[in-house]
Amino acid sequence: MSQAAFEPRLGATPDPRSDVPAIEVHDLTVAYRTQPVLWDVDFQLPEGELIAIVGPNGAGKSTLLKAILGLVEPLTGRIEVFGAPYRRRRSWVGYVPQRESVDWDFPTTALDVVLMGLYGRVGWFRRPSRGHTKRALECLEHVGMHELAGRQISQLSGGQQQRVFLARALAQDARLYLMDEPFAGVDVTTERAILSLLEELRSQGRTVVAVHHDLQTVAEYFDRVVLLNMRLIAEGPVATTFTDENLQRTYGGRLTVLARAAETLLENRRLDAPPEESTLARREGRGPWS
Amino acid sequence: MELTFTARNVLLGATLLGAVGGVLGSFALLRRQSLLGDALSHAALPGVCLAFLVTGSKDPLPLALGALGAGIAGSLTVLALVRWSRIKEDSAIGIVLSVFFGLGIVLLTHIQRLPGGNQTGLDKFLFGQAATLMERDLQVMAILGAAVMVLLGLFYKELKLITFDRAFAESLGLPVRALEGLLTLLLVTVVVVGLQTVGVVLMVATLITPAAAARQWTDSLGWMLVLAGGVGAASGATGALASASVAHLPTGPMIVLVASAVLVVSLLAAPRRGLVRAWLRERGVEQRIRRENLLKDLYRTGEEAGTDPHRLVPLPHLMGLRGQAFGALRATARRLERQGLLSSHDDTLSLTTEGFREAEAVVRKHRLWELYLTRRLELASDHVHRDAEAMEHALSDDDVARLEELLGHPETDPHGRPIPPAPRQPGGAPSPREEATP
Amino acid sequence: MSPTLVVLTVGSLVGASCALVGSFLVLRKMALLGDAISHAVLPGIAIAFLLTGGRAALPMVVGAGALGLVTVFLVELFNRSGRLAEDASIGVVFPALFSLGVILISRYASQVDLDLDCVLYGEIAYTPWDVWLVAGRSLGPKALWVNGAILLLDLALVTLFYKELKLSTFDPELAAALGFSPVLLHYLLMGAVSVTVVGAFESVGAILVVAMLVVPPATAYLLTERLGRMLAVAVGIGVASAVVGYFVARALDASIAGAMAVVAGSMLAGALALSPSHGLVARALRHRRLGRWLTGRIVLLHLRSEGSPVSRDALRERLGWTRSRSRRLSGILRELETRGWVTRETEGLRVTADGARAAEEHGGA
């Protein structure tokens, strides 16, 4: 973990002259057990934009994020973040997982959760300093959660929980943010607050790549879109890429071709239900062996 | 109370185990690994037997190491079963639990039949025979226990993070698998520490029950650990003392019963999560709603008849309005009477002046909310009544004032009924509405 | 009946009935509830013993069965309160009940031969001599009668409620929507488990009952896809474990029940390794085949999009493959060549028309 000197820099601007893409994905294929989830995905994303990843359930969106973070092992392919493998760029990237991937009944406060984002800077065997706490509080204030800093997280509403997650991301002060459904299940006010936060991040030159579920708001909120359905359907600026035709191709039921081909090679699963991306974690439980 | 040497050992051992078990059990509980502890304790048996067969000695240290090794093997087996086959986690735990234990029993009975195989040495691990705790055993327990606590302290924040949000921890670059392995190792160690005191079967309660009790009292992980350790130690001590004082009360089961009793009390009585408190709170709210409804009903009955607001209304009529039972209504009415808000004569009720004012306030909330729904959210006027019935009890005075302003100090509700004006402050300015009307 | 035959029969009866109800426990992910029941019935047995003053089978079965249901109920209660997760609920309920049982026995029955160790691992070797006396006449070993009756009971349950059990196991929502009360089925099943556990208690004890409940069904789960077949295979394996276990125990002069559990475990290990559909070997082979298939297609897609020939090194770099994986690449390329989908030229590899089509028909854009 990096031991970068601690300084409260909610405003660090990345190098605007650099033309290294934020993310480069080459020929990425990921299979879960023996079923392909991502197939030959290939794209580049520039820095400094708000980018949405969109696709039907089970299309591999969360898997794509996890592959970028090095959390899943691809069958083939290469991913680079700012020109290097992820593990060399860890301190440049902040991850905001799906809100429901966490047990919010865990005994901890909002402040504590944000402090977790700073563990990389605190280092092993040390406790967070007062400076770290101050920074965490600043981040909470930035998302409007200052007064609830000491509140137990199970007592927070969905929107408040999401804000806490975002405050944690802010604390990481990253150049690239990967967010998994940040707008899911939040109230209107929070949604607007999150959007303005993302826009602020963009104005600082940072990049946000978010899995987004709500087709209605893609064009309004984001600059670029990646349409995914196991394969890359299309990628580009929202205006030219988020078209009816592309949406048809993404959602129009052509998912099955590869899956069917794979299945003829594989067991037919009659005693098991096929794993679905979004329900997998829920069904198999959040055990330590996932 | 005069403690024998044995009893003193038991007391020390049980308290130590309770403290360490409670702390580590908190992590097991939060990671939904409660029953893994059960599997590990059963899996330790073949390790103990093998250690005996190999070293020929009943010295606690090699036996503990054997148990440790077997426990680790057991946990790895569970992991392997889940990762490499379609067998689910619960079955994997059951498999390891029973098969390893079966192997242990085979070895144990085989040892017992060997010439010189002193059986009372090893089968104490089944049920725990705290009375056989020797100085040496306590020493081993203390060393292992201390090691567990030190490691927990060193890696506290990382262990907290991987328990709460594993994926995020991975993204930070934390060696999550290694840390999980560490926790499992600590868990196995605690199991080994406790085997002689509480035995294979009850080990899981030593871990989980104090932690579950502690969870009810606090929302902070740190305090939960402290409390769990405390409850564990106290249960251990109490159980040990009780077992020493009364004949035929084995230590292990006593400890578990004490801890379970603490858990039940915690579940019922703890301030925020306690079930009794929650039930009382709910009832409190229910009763307030019933009172407000009664006031409102009395007001409306009077209003509809167009007569004296203090009119006498028979109870049966009120019962019919909401389908309420006689007894419940009576009880509510009595409450209101005691508050001076209504008076009752035989089976009729009437609002007092004070009661009338209160009723007005409730009706005002109701009708303002209805108006809000129809005007601002454009709901049909016949759809708003139910919502208002619920909302009226939840609106505060501030909410009401704001509603009034928002709606421009209206005079009638969607059904054309008058909205009672805000109560005039004593000796104060006229209400905005009075000012507005010419 | 010779003692050996009695023991073998009792063991088989236990193995069979446990396998029947245990299969549903495994499929419903309730294996540990079975574990809990097997421990928690102890106070039921103790109470029955104290009330009747003897070790008659029927009161014990009833007492234990009742406790089994109480266990399930308490676990639900703790879980539903919202304050305790399901696994934690199990982990606090059964030790408390078990402790209660141990204390009852220690205080009020210590002078009798309710040997606590046997509670944990049973003593099936005594069953031939534990006969059922009716009016002074021996009707044969009690265990045969009890476990035989229990097997019939379990068979009846499974046959009568087969459809409902199957549906509520795989699709509980649909079952509820169709009017089969899932709660009723749940308690019926758990009641059967309790009764089965108690019958097995004498033979194999509390902990090894779990082995019989979980291990043969898990083994069957690795070998077959259909419920009916799974039940049959589980029963077969249960019986086999009992029989083989007996002989192993004889050879080692050790606990019969323990040996049964170990044999069952070995059969599971065998199935795990060698099962044609789910075993590790089969899986590894399949995984490799899929990997090769996918990689082959990716190679074809690349070559097709490139147009001009690509050298092997360039291909490797493009795929982001390290040297170790490159050895497999050679094998894959060779296969592609053999199929006539790729040709090797001086500058590198080129895809053929057939190859381009092969890539396409499996989803090339």
Interface of C with B in 275-304 (CB under 8 A): 278, 280, 283
Nearest to B98 among C29, C116, C214 (CB): C214
Which among B256, B225, B273, B252 is positioned nearest to B126, based on CA atoms? Answer: B252
Residues of A with CB under 8 A from a CB of C: 26-27, 29, 31, 33-34, 36, 39-40, 75-78, 231, 257-258, 261-262, 265-271
pLDDT per position as a tens digit, A164-187: 999 999 999 999 999 999 999 888
Cβ <8 Å between A289 and B79: yes
Are the beta carbons of A76 and C290 separated by less than 8 Å?
no
**Yes or no, beta carbons of C363 and A29 under 8 Å apart:** no
- Between CA B168 and CA C308 the distance in angstroms is 44
Instruction: Give the model confidence (pLDDT) of C57-87 as tens digits.
Output: 778 778 888 888 899 999 989 988 878 888 9
Chain B CA closest to residue A283: B88
**Chain C residues with CB-CB distance to A77 below 8 A:** 319-320
Nearest CB to A231: which of C226, C278, C365?
C365
What are residue A38's DSSP bridge partners? A30
CA distance C315 to chain A (A): 11
Q: What residues of chain B, 178 to 207, have a C-beta less than 8 Å from chain A?
A: 180
- Which ipTM was obtained for this model? 0.85
- Contact across the interface for B34 and C85, Cβ inside 8 Å: yes
pLDDT tens track for C37-51: 988 888 888 888 888
- Cα dihedral across residues C96, C98, C99, C101: positive or negative: positive
Report CA-CA distances (Å) from C221 to B16, B91, B96, C228, C272: 43, 11, 16, 11, 10
- Partner-chain contact C278 A267, CB within 8 Å: yes
pLDDT in tens, A92-108: 999 999 998 998 889 99
Residue A106 at interface with chain B, using a CB cutoff of 8 Å: yes
In B114-220, alpha helices (H):
119-122, 124-127, 135-154, 156-164, 166-172, 176-217
Calculate mean pLDDT across residues C87-113. Answer: 85
Instruction: Give the C-alpha separation, C308 to C296, whole Å.
Output: 18
Instruction: Reply yes or no on whether the pLDDT at A9 is more than 60.
Output: no
Chain C residue numbers with beta carbons less than 8 Å from the beta carbon of A29 are: 294, 298
Complete domains list, chain C, with CATH:
3-213 (1.10.3470.10), 282-363 (1.10.10.10)
Lowest mean pLDDT among A148-152, B148-152, C179-183: C179-183
Q: Mark yes or no for CB contact C221/A40 under 8 Å.
A: no
C259 touches chain B (CB under 8 A): yes
CA distance C196 to C207: 13
The chain A residue lying nearest B176, using CA atoms, is A288
Tokens of C24: 């549903």
> Using CB atoms, which residue from A36, A40, A268 is nearest to C301?
A40
| Chain B contact present for A66, CB below 8 A | yes
Predicted pLDDT at B256? 95
B210-250 pLDDT per residue, tens: 999 999 999 889 999 999 999 999 999 999 999 888 877 88
**pLDDT score, position A94:** 93
CB distance A145 to A160 below 8 Å: yes
Contact B129/C at CB under 8 A: no
Mean pLDDT of B380-395: 79
DSSP C258-320: HHHHHHHHHHHHHHHHH-TTTSHHHHHHHHHHHHHHHHHHHHHHHHHHH-S-B-HHHHHHHHT
- The minimal CB distance from A107 to the residues B33, B165, B220 is found for B220
Amino acid letter, C22: G
What residue of C is the nearest CA neighbor of A32?
Answer: C287
Per the structure block, which two tokens stand in for B179?
A: 């840390």
Set of chain A residues whose Cβ sits within 8 Å of the Cβ of B89:
284-285, 287, 289
A10: pLDDT strictly greater than 50: no
A154 and B CB contact within 8 Å: yes
Q: Any residues with CB less than 8 A from the CB of C206 and at least 6 apart, and which?
A: B201, C38, C39, C41, C42, C119, C120, C197
pTM above 0.90?
Answer: no
Q: What is the dihedral of CA C177, C178, C179, C183, to 10 degrees?
A: -60
